[in-house]
Chains A and B, each alone.
Chain A
Amino acid sequence: GAGVSQSPRYKVAKRGQDVALRCDPISGHVSLFWYQQALGQGPEFLTYFQNEAQLDKSGLPSDRFFAERPEGSVSTLKIQRTQQEDSAVYLCASSLRTGYGYTFGSGTRLTVV
């Protein structure tokens, strides 16, 4: 597609539920990032993929967070046993080349109740 597509746009989860957030990057984009944006804050780095390799996961806040990109295109961010503090907008961004600016998706707004 023409842009980065994320689904679902909105997700309400009960505390303790597992969720999966999907990102479809622009075709051919090698680099893929996940960011977490809490209300009223700037986005914060979660993890980075170069093709299918997860090269940096230092931003994942706990072992409940897991990301994958098995075929080097679509990526999924999974959060197990969701907590209220996980409520945020999760943004995906992709780029042809590392470091030159990225195209962001519209994000998934996760609300944990």
Chain B
Amino acid sequence: AQSVTQLDSQVPVFEEAPVELRCNYSSSVSVYLFWYVQYPNQGLQLLLKYLSGSTLVKGINGFEAEFNKSQTSFHLRKPSVHISDTAEYFCAVSDPGGTSYGKLTFGQGTILTVHP
């Protein structure tokens, strides 16, 4: 079974500083990788996804992530954060194979808090 580990449960950072949210997954097969953001009392919003091709993926709100197959990682980065980026971020993986129907396995989440 797949698993996803988000290495930091909470990340505090000052406004305009860079941030990296770490994600590792365990799978010996090809995977699709996703980052979602969840604002309080809201559902999940897709930030970006890696399906194939370039290992550097750009998403919305200035976020990007790099797929590293050898390290089974998919870390999320932003060069300069804003107060409005304060939210919980989830890394997720799915198996593109036919029997899993694309169901997502999520990490435990990382709470990003941006301080002024």
**Cα distance A40–B32 when bound, in Å?**
24
- Interface stretch (choices A66-74, A78-86, A97-105): A97-105
Tell me, rounded to whole Å, the shortest Cβ–Cβ distance linking A90 to chain B: 11
Contact pattern, B 39-81, Cβ under 8 Å of A = 1, otherwise 0: 0011111100101000000000000000000000000000000
Contact indicator A45/B43 (Cβ below 8 Å): no
Binding site for A on B (CB under 8 A): 4, 32, 34, 36, 41-46, 49, 51, 90, 92, 94, 96, 101-109
List, sorted by A's number, 11 A–B pairs whose CB atoms are closer than 8 Å: A40-B109, A42-B108, A44-B106, A45-B104, A99-B96, A100-B32, A100-B49, A100-B51, A101-B34, A103-B46, A105-B43
Given A99-B96, A101-B46, A106-B41, output 20 extra A-B contacts at Cβ < 8 Å: A6-B43, A31-B102, A33-B103, A40-B109, A42-B106, A44-B106, A45-B105, A48-B103, A55-B101, A95-B102, A98-B101, A99-B32, A99-B102, A100-B51, A101-B34, A102-B46, A103-B46, A104-B36, A106-B42, A109-B41
